[in-house]
């Protein structure tokens, strides 16, 4: 009987222990510092106040995953702007919110956009240029809006209409160009530039879809 008591005693004790009171919330990360063990989240519940709340995070106690649970993620993969779901509990005398599980929602790839206009300035070494955008209604005259772009000098694709093949080409201020770009990190990142002798009457009539990389222009 003693042996039975030794085997059954701990099981009964653990079964009587209260389970943690886990809570759930979803929102957007506004700030994260792994060393300090802190994460701030903006609540995006439909009826919420969109208040920013702080959560404690810990490399040993906080699990980071994706919805499919197929990617190996860590706290170091968390970034401001990410949408996440947090499973947390209240701990300690101060009733701090301790994140136990953070599920990172997949981020869609940024969509490509197009801009037409005259090249105002370009700095190949810095990887920046300024475009005087001219929508179809203002291409025949008038001043357009100035837009600023960044690009990777070794990766941008440069073409000359009507060809769709990358070429080595020197672009100069005043050149009419079409720019394919994506918005990342608050910047317009140019993927390709197409030089025209004159703008086409119909926007996109010579749209280029190539993704081949090429050496950019040199000044």
Residue 183, both tokens:
């918005």
% of the chain surpassing 70 pLDDT? 70
pLDDT tens, 112-130?
889 999 999 999 899 999 9
Distance (Å, whole) CA 156 – CA 216: 6
Domain identity same for 127 and 96: no
**Does residue 52 share a domain with residue 29?**
yes
Predicted confidence (pLDDT) at residue 164 exceeds the cutoff of 80: no
pLDDT for the residue numbered 66: 87
List 87's β-bridge partners, or say none: 24, 101
Confidence at residue 106, expressed as pLDDT on a 0 to 100 scale? 80
Domain containing 153 equals 113-195
In a domain, 153, yes or no: yes
- Helices and strands per DSSP (H, E), number in the chain: 1, 12
The answer to whether the pTM exceeds 0.75 is no
Indicate whether 13 belongs to any domain.
no
**Residue 38 is encoded by which pair of tokens?**
């802190």
Tokens 């879809």 — which residue?
A: 209
| CA atoms in the 13 A half-sphere facing the CB of 138 | 11
Same domain, 125 and 90: no
pLDDT tens digit sequence for 179-219? 999 888 778 999 999 998 866 554 444 333 333 333 334 34
**Residue 3: predicted pLDDT:** 46
Predicted confidence at residue 161, as pLDDT, reads 83
Of the three residues 104, 135, 161, the one that is the final residue of a domain is 104
Question: How many domains does one find in the chain?
Answer: 2
**Do residue 76 and residue 129 come from a single domain?**
no
- The pLDDT value recorded for residue 156 is 87
Give me the pLDDT at residue 89, please. 94
Cα angle, residue 120 at apex, residues 118 and 122 outer, rounded to 5° = 115
- Domain holding 138: CATH number? 2.40.50.320
pLDDT digits (tens, 9 = 90+) for 32-61: 999 999 999 988 765 555 678 999 999 999
Question: Is 215 within the bounds of a domain?
Answer: no
Residue 7 located in a structural domain: no
Q: Which pLDDT score is estimated for 42?
A: 87
Tens digits of residue pLDDT in 50-92: 678 999 999 999 999 988 777 778 999 898 888 999 999 999 8
Q: What is the mean pLDDT of the chain?
A: 77
């Amino acid at each position: 009987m003693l042996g039975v008591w030794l085997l059954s005693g701990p099981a009964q004790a653990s079964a009587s222990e209260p389970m943690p009171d886990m809570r759930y919330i979803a929102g957007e990360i506004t700030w994260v510092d792994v060393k300090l063990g802190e994460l701030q989240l903006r609540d995006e519940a439909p009826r919420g106040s969109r208040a920013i709340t702080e959560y404690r995070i810990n490399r040993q106690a906080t699990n980071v995953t994706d919805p499919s649970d197929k990617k190996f993620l860590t706290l170091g993969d968390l970034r401001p702007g990410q949408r996440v779901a947090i499973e947390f509990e209240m701990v300690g005398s101060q009733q701090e919110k301790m994140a136990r599980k953070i599920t990172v929602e997949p981020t869609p790839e940024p969509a490509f956009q197009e801009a037409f206009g005259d090249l105002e300035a370009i700095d190949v070494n810095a990887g920046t240029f300024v475009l005087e955008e001219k929508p179809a209604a203002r291409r025949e005259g008038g001043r357009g809006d100035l837009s600023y772009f960044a690009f990777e000098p070794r990766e941008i694709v440069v073409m000359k209409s009507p060809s769709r093949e990358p070429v080595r080409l020197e672009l100069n201020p005043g050149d009419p160009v079409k720019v394919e770009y994506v918005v990342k990190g608050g910047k317009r990142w140019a993927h390709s530039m197409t030089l025209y002798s004159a703008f086409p009457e119909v926007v996109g009539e010579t749209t280029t879809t190539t993704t081949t990389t090429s050496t950019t222009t040199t000044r």
